[in-house]
């Protein structure tokens, strides 16, 4: 790797990472909303259904939801949280990505 490549890599903007769990709010039975402080000072919400992170919102990205099939109850949880229209347009993400974002606090 050249010196120029190393300098470019070092100056590239890094994606914000979760730093701390700010709040947890119970929305319904087996459903809660966790709010995280990100390393860039913004916040991110993660919806947890039956102890599994399944959806969320971050201003920079908009709505996101897991990209695999889920139960009818979890589908209702997601729709209650973000609304049916936002759910249709939500960015699909992997469950692994959601676990990484929750820094082990789901």
pLDDT, tens digit (0-9, with 9 covering 90-100), for 34-86: 999 988 889 999 999 998 899 999 988 899 999 988 899 998 889 999 998 89
- The DSSP call for residue 16 is P
Domain ranges of the chain: 17-101
Q: For 57, how many CA atoms within 13 A lie in the half-sphere containing its CB?
A: 9
- Could you give the C-alpha distances from 99 to 1, 83, 105, in angstroms and in order? 32, 23, 9
Instruction: Band the pLDDT of 31: cuts 50, 70, 90.
Output: very high
Strands 62-66 and 91-93: parallel
What is the distance, to the nearest Å, from the Cα of residue 65 to the centroid of all Cα atoms in its chain?
8
20-56 burial by CB neighbour count: b if 16+ within 10 A, else e? ebeeeeeeeeebbbbbbbbeeeeebbbbbbeebbbbb
Query: pTM for the full model?
Result: 0.77
C-alpha closest to that of 35 among 22, 48, 25, 19: 22
Average pLDDT, the chain: 83
In angstroms, rounded to a whole number, what is the distance separating the alpha carbons of residues 103 and 60? 19
């Amino acid at each position: 790797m050249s010196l120029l490549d190393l300098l470019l890599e070092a100056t590239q903007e890094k994606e914000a990472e979760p730093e701390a769990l700010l709040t947890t709010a119970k929305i319904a039975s087996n459903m809660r909303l966790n709010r995280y402080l990100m390393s860039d000072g913004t916040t991110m919400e993660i919806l947890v259904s039956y102890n599994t992170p399944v959806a969320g919102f971050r201003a920079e990205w908009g709505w996101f939801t897991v990209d695999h099939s889920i139960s009818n109850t979890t589908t209702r949880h997601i729709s209650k949280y973000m609304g049916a229209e936002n759910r249709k347009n939500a960015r699909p993400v992997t469950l692994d990505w959601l676990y990484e974002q929750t820094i082990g606090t789901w």
